Structure 1
Amino acid sequence: KRSAYFIQQNRGKQSLCLDMKKPAAVELIKQLIPKFDVMVENFAPGIIASMGLDYKTVSAINPRIIMCSISALGQTGPLAHDPGFDFIGQAYAGITSLIGEEEGPPYMPMVAIGDVSTGVHAMGSIACALLYREKTGEGQYIDISLLDSYFHCQTVGVELYSASGGKHELKRSGLHHPLLAPAGIFKGRKWHIIILAGFDQHWPRICDAIGRPELASDPRYANAASRGRHRDEIIKLIEDWLMSMPDDQESIDALRARRVPVAPVLSVSEAMNHPHLIERGTVRTINDRILGEFQIPGFPLRFSKFPDELELDAPFLGEHNEVVLTKYLGYSHDDVARLTADGVLHGAHH
């Protein structure tokens, strides 16, 4: 089976498909280990060791290899062996508790932020380990967890609670920031609009935009703390102005012209069709061998020495069995056929 999700996550890869319950498959991996710089595994903690492919074994075969284990909750600790997915790590990290209305239950966002963040953390740590190896000649083991990556996203909450001796704890606050104003999601004539203008330099600009320049010197709104105390008044001022405008785009244009941070809250389809995302290649159109043409998120990194768009194709499972084993281990066509007949190798029919 082949899905758009599989294609998005696996472009540019070669697929060697093994039945890891077969001892011969494990031996194949051991033969490949000396040929590679990095080994990444995503099994539950303890599984890779039960196969005989723990870091001690792997590094004995190739002392220069970087081995990275990615798991939900980490390789150690009381929760290490619990099953987990993105939202499990999110909940344990205190992130879910911050999403939703102030007086209501927490909400679950429909985007796997932790899955992506954990992969990016893994990529960064592998790059650092490779640089270390270039300087020392030594490989190493990396333990990356979804929970740790999510907790690292706590840019304010942890230190706020700790440094205040527990007096201040960040909590969910619905549409608007709990301390800064104006900073939140405002209702326009048709759209929802996010405005982040809680800092002192932005306040006179937004006062000018809404036609109330005198509010810039009003003592009630003199600084961030006082504006936070009068948050509800400020929300009403801005939403009244938004409703008085001919349309929401004109409101956004007025704020942008004064360099007030503002954006429409776009749906997925609206974001896909936004000219800025299209021009930068943030939205990319690809052509798959089975599903045909469709759009995916483009590569978010821009390298000056790399092509803007590599022509990457997603593999079928086991598509490169023979290519990999021939190139790296010198296996013959008959060797690959025998391993396939024995159930060690698998390949999808397409």
Structure 2
Amino acid sequence: MSALSGIRVLDFSQVLAGPFAAMLLADLDAEVVKVEPPAHGDHSRQMAPRVQDGLSGAYLAVNRNKRGVALDLKDERGRALAHQLAAQADVVIENFRPGVAARLGIDYATLAALNPRLVHCSISGFGQTGPYSSRGGFDLVAQGMTGLMSVTGDPDGAPAKCGIPVTDLATGLFAVYGILAALNARERTGRGQQVDASLFDTGIGLAVWEAVEYFHTGKTPGRTGSAHRLGAPYQAFRTSDGYFTVGADGDRHWPRFCEVIGLPRLPEDPRFTTNDDRLANREALVAAIEERTTTRTRDEWLTLLEEVGVPAGPINSVPEALSDPHTQARDMVVDVEHETLGTVRTLGPIVKLSDTPATIQSPAPGLGEHSTEVLTRLGVDESTISALRNEGVIA
């Protein structure tokens, strides 16, 4: 038995947030049909790194376990096929700018009239309502407008975006959260509903500690580099050959950390006795700690800290993180066989379920790879499929 077996998903989305959400559902064995425009498909097919014509690493990364159908939604015959697919679906995911889905005939109102049990998820930059709803959605813009960039980077540096497209990916996660909640509600009401997820709401919602600081102190949160804004020391420190991270802001770990780095009396210094003291004097605290940590290597300090139970870890490069033995043990890097590319390496399922685990059964589909299979199952005869293909309505 699999977690989402029997759930049918139509994925009209492109690039990242929507495809990522649909992929997470597919990993749990939902039947996901990815619908793309016949000419060029999902925009991410053309993104770097390109691996062959019409296929990129970006596309492969978030479209596994899906079947691929190419339909021209601007043609009324393509829309009619999309409507037939939606009538049999449990979930629709789209991430067009608000208003575009309605023009293409795949908006919530249109599809819910055909299938009242449908859970329709719209992912956008700013949501389906509000003064900015008509704007396009870009992770960089969302990170800037929601305050995330204002608190990212070194205190004396320029604002920086998070190294990963955090609002894109997290919006995909929140979309899945909303979809699963709506499917659960449908079991009681018999009706589907619209799920409205946006990069803007995600960015605001992720600023948990920053909102706390502003709500309760009235101060504007600033950039703290790798440091935590509510605890110290909880950040990266220099060593003789690189950096490592330490979470020693608690009363239990703080004195242990000081013992290990050879400053056993530092907790008695009135500037550093309590967490509030250390936050108020963080610059002096970091200077005192790094005077000691720069005398030994990263690995030497990590060994000593692990022995006494102080939370600490290396700052790995991406290749180091992906090759870490723990990464391998958790099956977070897996190989998938692709018909033309051979073995393709991809990231593994993130959440582990004991009885109904997520699995990777197939790589991302080629453009329209399963059009004939899916439309035949829908009841479209071969001659019609051939005619529509010749006229560019499907591919």
Quick check: TM above 0.5? yes
Which residue does the alignment assign to 1:189?
A: 240
Matches within 5 A, 1:212-251: 212-245=263-296, 247-251=297-301
Q: Is residue 317 from structure 1 mapped to residue 367 from structure 2 by the alignment?
A: yes
Which residue does the alignment assign to 2:252?
A: 201
Matches within 5 A, 1:1-350: 1-164=54-217, 166=218, 168-245=219-296, 247-307=297-357, 309-327=359-377, 329-346=378-395
Instruction: Assess, with a 3 A threshold, how the Cα gap between structure 1 residues 128 and 153 changes in structure 2: closer, same or farther.
Output: same
Whole-Å Cα distance in 2 between the matches of residues 131 and 116 of structure 1? 23
Instruction: Assess, with a 3 A threshold, how the Cα gap between structure 1 residues 62 and 333 changes in structure 2: closer, same or farther.
Output: same
Q: For residue 192 of structure 1, report the CA deviation from its aligned partner.
A: 1.4
What is the CA deviation profile of residues 247-271 of structure 1, one whole-angstrom value per residue up to 9, with x for unaligned ones?
Answer: 2111011112222221111111111
CA contact 1:175–1:185 (8 Å) conserved in 2: yes
Whole-Å Cα distance in 2 between the matches of residues 154 and 50 of structure 1? 34
CA contact 2:241–2:298 (8 Å) conserved in 1: yes
Q: For residue 308 of structure 1, report the CA deviation from its aligned partner.
A: 6.0
Whole-Å Cα distance in 2 between the matches of residues 62 and 209 of structure 1? 64
Whole-Å Cα distance in 2 between the matches of residues 116 and 181 of structure 1? 29
Whole-Å Cα distance in 1 between the matches of residues 229 and 392 of structure 2? 58
Give the letter aligned to residue 84 of structure 2. Answer: Q
Report which stretch shifted further, 129-138 or 189-198: 189-198
What is the CA deviation profile of residues 126-157 of structure 1, one whole-angstrom value per residue up to 9, with x for unaligned ones?
Answer: 00000000011111111110111111101112
Whole-Å Cα distance in 1 between the matches of residues 383 and 122 of structure 2? 34
Report which stretch shifted further, 88-97 or 235-244: 235-244
Q: Secondary structure at the match of 1:219?
A: coil
5+ unaligned residues in a row in structure 2: which ranges? 1-53
Give the letter aligned to residue 272 of structure 2. Answer: Y
Whole-Å Cα distance in 1 between the matches of residues 362 and 103 of structure 2? 34
CA contact 1:189–1:248 (8 Å) conserved in 2: yes
Give the letter aligned to residue 133 of structure 2. Answer: A
Q: Secondary structure at the match of 1:57?
A: helix
Give the letter aligned to residue 72 of structure 1. Answer: G
Q: Secondary structure at the match of 2:208?
A: coil
Q: For residue 4 of structure 1, report the CA deviation from its aligned partner.
A: 1.5
**TM-score under structure 2 normalisation?**
0.82
CA contact 2:125–2:199 (8 Å) conserved in 1: yes
Give the letter aligned to residue 165 of structure 2. Answer: A
**TM-score under structure 1 normalisation?**
0.93
What is the CA deviation profile of residues 88-135 of structure 1, one whole-angstrom value per residue up to 9, with x for unaligned ones?
Answer: 111111101111221222013331111110111011100000000001
What is the CA deviation profile of residues 161-201 of structure 1, one whole-angstrom value per residue up to 9, with x for unaligned ones?
Answer: 1333x3x2211122433453212111111121111212222
CA contact 1:4–1:291 (8 Å) conserved in 2: no
5+ unaligned residues in a row in structure 1: which ranges? none
> How many residues are aligned here?
342
Q: For residue 230 of structure 1, report the CA deviation from its aligned partner.
A: 2.9
What is the CA deviation profile of residues 184-233 of structure 1, one whole-angstrom value per residue up to 9, with x for unaligned ones?
Answer: 11111112111121222211110121123233344332210112233233
